[in-house]
Structure 1
Amino acid sequence: MKKSFFIISFILLSLTAFAQITVRPGVRGGVTISNITNGHGDANTDFYVGGYAAIKFTRFYVLQPELTYSRQGTKDFFYGIEDGYDPIIDGFNSFDKDLEIQYLNFTIANKFSPIPNTGLNFIVGPSFNIKVADNYDHQYHNITGFDFALLAGIGYDFPFGLGIEARYNQGLIDIFGYDFVDDYDDDDDNYF
């Protein structure tokens, strides 16, 4: 009898717990300010747009898978044969370029609300970024087709459904795909 009571109680509590879960889809859009870590260039300002599904498990925690298209990059100088052969310096010269990289980002944002029933939240999670296109046409190196990033941020969700966020994403993969280890010049990307 006790065993049956515990099993029935467990099932009822489980059903109650699952009944509390809510899913809310939405759209995202905003501004990206990006740069390449350890680069010499200036930040590049562009945009991102996408969608999400906010899965609210408790008053304190929301799991938010996201699919986002973003444009990132930097304004920097590069070395190469971009402007043609220069016999004085063996064909390699420096040139200024606005490097633009377009990504399809798969993000798993974990939103924690320290004060229940308020809109304030802290955001952490990984982001898996697949390169869609870029304008980098260097003869010897290409930008890698994949980037893995970690993100952290803060946000506020208003009761009427609009939310604002500030996030910092740090790429962990050398986007130029060099085959050697260079701790000084680790060309990851980061964006805000």
Structure 2
Amino acid sequence: MKKIAVIVFVLFASIMNAQVTFKPGLRAGASFSTFSNTRSDYKTDFYVGGFGEIKLTKIYTLQPEITYSQQGADNVKTFVSYNNGQDVIESRNLEIDYLSIAMINKFTFNGGFQVQVGPTLDFRLQDNLLYEKSDVDLAFVMGLAYRLPSGLTFEARFKKGLVDVLDSDTYASSQNNDDYWLADYNTNVSFQLGISYPFGK
């Protein structure tokens, strides 16, 4: 127990003695998203947002983020049963827009290479779904980045939702009597490629 207390004290003292800095910044890029357990293609769209870079040590930075992101999936396969018994497969493009609040942990190593990990809480703003299962998504982000001496950073992230966002059991149109060809558990899956830049010296 004493050893743990000593380790915690040393870490706390090192953070307090370090020169803690804060820099606001902007980030933007392209997103490639889909839903798990669906027969679909990745949807290409974008994300844009702001962040606050709280540098606590030489290596570790805590970065809260607020991001608007467009997600969904293209060509989601739809199984259609007509009254005459003829079955066909159609496809539709699904869209969900989120406002994401993330808490990213950044670890910067010599040469400017970074590892970025953290949770994000996404709030649904709008969509073109017939039915949805949740207005909120809890996701986990992990990625790699490269930071130039100027501060400009190139980022590649993988974002995986944990919440079932589509009500696949009742996802039907009363007009056409069609159901999306979905499994029961459909989560957001997204890859992001973009840049970020913090302001200030």
The TM-score normalised by the length of structure 1 is: 0.77
Q: What's the counterpart of residue 46 of structure 1?
A: 45
How far the C-alpha of 1:14 sits from its partner, in A, is 6.2
Structure 2 residue runs without a partner (length 5+): 1-8, 170-182, 192-201
Q: What's the counterpart of residue 31 of structure 1?
A: 30
Q: Is contact 1:136–1:143 with CA below 8 Å preserved after alignment?
A: no
Mapped partners of 2:58, 2:68: distance in 1: 29
- Identify which of 109, 113, 117 aligns with 1:120: 113
Flag the 1:96–1:50 CA change in 2: closer, same or farther, 3 A.
same
* Higher RCO (C-alpha 8 Å, min separation 6): 2
Q: What's the counterpart of residue 134 of structure 1?
A: 127
Give the greater-gyration-radius structure (CA): 1
Structure 1 residue runs without a partner (length 5+): 1-9
Name the count of aligned residue pairs: 167
Identity of aligned residues (%): 37
In terms of fraction of residues, the more strand-rich structure is: 2
Q: What's the counterpart of residue 191 of structure 1?
A: 190
How far the C-alpha of 1:20 sits from its partner, in A, is 0.7
Flag the 1:177–1:188 CA change in 2: closer, same or farther, 3 A.
same
How far the C-alpha of 1:178 sits from its partner, in A, is 6.2
Matches within 5 A, 1:73-112: 73-75=72-74, 76-79=76-79, 86-88=82-84, 95-112=90-107
Q: What's the counterpart of residue 4 of structure 1?
A: none
How far the C-alpha of 1:101 sits from its partner, in A, is 0.6
Flag the 1:53–1:16 CA change in 2: closer, same or farther, 3 A.
closer
